[in-house]
A and B are shown apart, each in its own frame.
Chain A
Amino acid sequence: MEPSPGGGRRYYYRMLSSALGLVPSQPFSVQPNGRFEKMDGDNSTTDASQLGIAGDYISGSHYVLQSQEDDGDDGMNDNEDGIGSKDGFREQDIYLPIANVARIMKNAIPPTGKIAKDAKECVQECVSEFISFITSEASERCHQEKRKTINGEDILFAMSTLGFDSYVEPLKLYLQKFREAMKGEKGIVTSVTVADGLGDELTDESFTNQLPAGLITADGQQQNVMVYTTSYQQISGVQQIQFS
């Protein structure tokens, strides 16, 4: 089996291969850290020494695609350590930080519940798989419509296609809230307010304050200089700072 989930490409090839028909997998060994890797050759399974830690759990059964088609060039048969490259497509397995994942899991189960370490790691991998899953589907739709950028609609569509339609409505709400919040932030940052006085009490918001100031320059001439102040203490000819 393909023990270490990678990015979307792994899923992509798997989809292809499962459409072509599954073939029993090669055996693989368990590394001391619990992750497993494919083993070389065909008949090395009965050699206990190659099987990591005898008596421990190893995964069994189904899966893996030894695709006989051209796609077989993907190197499924290669001796991978899970972080290999198939024809240069595969990148290093990318996961979301386990701390974040674990925190979300913790919030989902009763407070008295605990989570096994391998369960956390496993969900971490599932998450990457999920993201790739959704992205592949959304990307396909995007291409069908001859667009180059995946937008929110594609994602939502992918979710409902893949059986997560219960997420769609809540997600739309979240998106709405998110957009409003973003706009709100922008609003604060670009608003122009006039401060009461110079200097001492600068608020967090940017502001422009025009003060005529008379300066006597070195050569004795008096000049009227406009001083513009902002929360960033910039004194320059800039009248307004735009935050876009």
Chain B
Amino acid sequence: MAGSDEGGKMLDFADSRQVSLPISRVKLIMKSSPDVNNINQDALFLTAKATELFVQYLAAYSYKKGSGRESKCLTYHDLARSPEECDTFQFLADILPKKILARDYFKLLEEKEKEDEGDGEETDDSD
């Protein structure tokens, strides 16, 4: 990255004043994307700041949707509902799977197997 001195200064600055997330870690995550070469200082800062806003948004949104329950506690469940209720969170659908009880899952599997077997028999019939 250009201007390593600047980078160092920016890190100090960012940590202490404007952004409460470690810029270096943000950079690490960004760099783990494929085909990413260099990242501008501005881009780093914007991403870090945007991430902050995102966390606030996700937390506030999920909490609001989940409130009405007595515990007033933001749970995983609240978060897991957000992708289906808000388009912006669609990209999180894969990493926020709904949780089900193991026994319910077994039931689902059994049903699916039965379905598959049923399909198999039908398709095997030839005219």
Cβ B50 vs Cβ A171 within 8 A: yes
Cβ A104 vs Cβ B79 within 8 A: no
**Majority secondary structure of chain B interface residues (helix, strand, loop or mixed):** helix
Interface residues of B in 75-95 (CB under 8 A from A): 75-76, 78-80, 87-88, 91-95
CB contacts (< 8 Å) of A27 on chain B: these are 105, 109
Any B CB within 8 A of the CB of A126: yes
CB contacts (< 8 Å) of B18 on chain A: these are 174, 177-178, 181
| Smallest beta-carbon distance A160→chain B, Å | 11
Residue from B36, B63, B76 within 8 A of A135 (CB atoms):
B36
Any B CB within 8 A of the CB of A151: yes
The docked-state distance in angstroms from the alpha carbon of A139 to that of B37 is: 9
CB contacts (< 8 Å) of A39 on chain B: these are none
Residues of A in contact with B (beta carbons under 8 Å apart): 1-3, 5-9, 11-12, 14, 27, 45-46, 48, 51, 54-64, 89, 91, 94-97, 100-101, 103-105, 107-110, 112-116, 118-119, 122-123, 125-136, 138-139, 143, 148-152, 154-156, 159, 162-164, 167, 170-171, 174-175, 177-179, 181-182, 185, 244
| Smallest beta-carbon distance B103→chain A, Å | 7
| Smallest beta-carbon distance B106→chain A, Å | 7
Cβ B76 vs Cβ A97 within 8 A: no
CB contacts (< 8 Å) of B88 on chain A: these are 163-164
How many chain B residues sit at the interface, stated as a range, is 35 or more
| Smallest beta-carbon distance B1→chain A, Å | 9
Residues of B in contact with A (beta carbons under 8 Å apart): 5, 9-10, 13, 17-18, 20-22, 25-26, 28-30, 32-40, 42-43, 45-47, 49-60, 62-63, 71-76, 78-80, 87-88, 91-106, 108-109
Contacts A131-B26, A135-B33; is A46 near B106 (CB within 8 Å)?
yes
Cβ B29 vs Cβ A128 within 8 A: yes
Cβ A150 vs Cβ B38 within 8 A: yes
| Smallest beta-carbon distance A106→chain B, Å | 8
Cβ A9 vs Cβ B43 within 8 A: no
Cβ B79 vs Cβ A96 within 8 A: no
CB contacts (< 8 Å) of A171 on chain B: these are 46, 49-50, 53
Cβ A96 vs Cβ B43 within 8 A: no
Cβ B36 vs Cβ A139 within 8 A: yes
Cβ B13 vs Cβ A8 within 8 A: no
Cβ A126 vs Cβ B43 within 8 A: no
Cβ B51 vs Cβ A127 within 8 A: yes
Contacts A100-B20, A115-B73; is A134 near B50 (CB within 8 Å)?
yes
The docked-state distance in angstroms from the alpha carbon of A91 to that of B49 is: 24
Given contacts A8-B34, A135-B29, 20 further A-B contacts (CB under 8 A): A55-B102, A57-B102, A100-B20, A108-B55, A108-B57, A116-B74, A123-B58, A126-B92, A126-B96, A128-B29, A129-B91, A130-B51, A135-B47, A148-B37, A149-B37, A152-B43, A163-B87, A174-B46, A177-B18, A181-B17
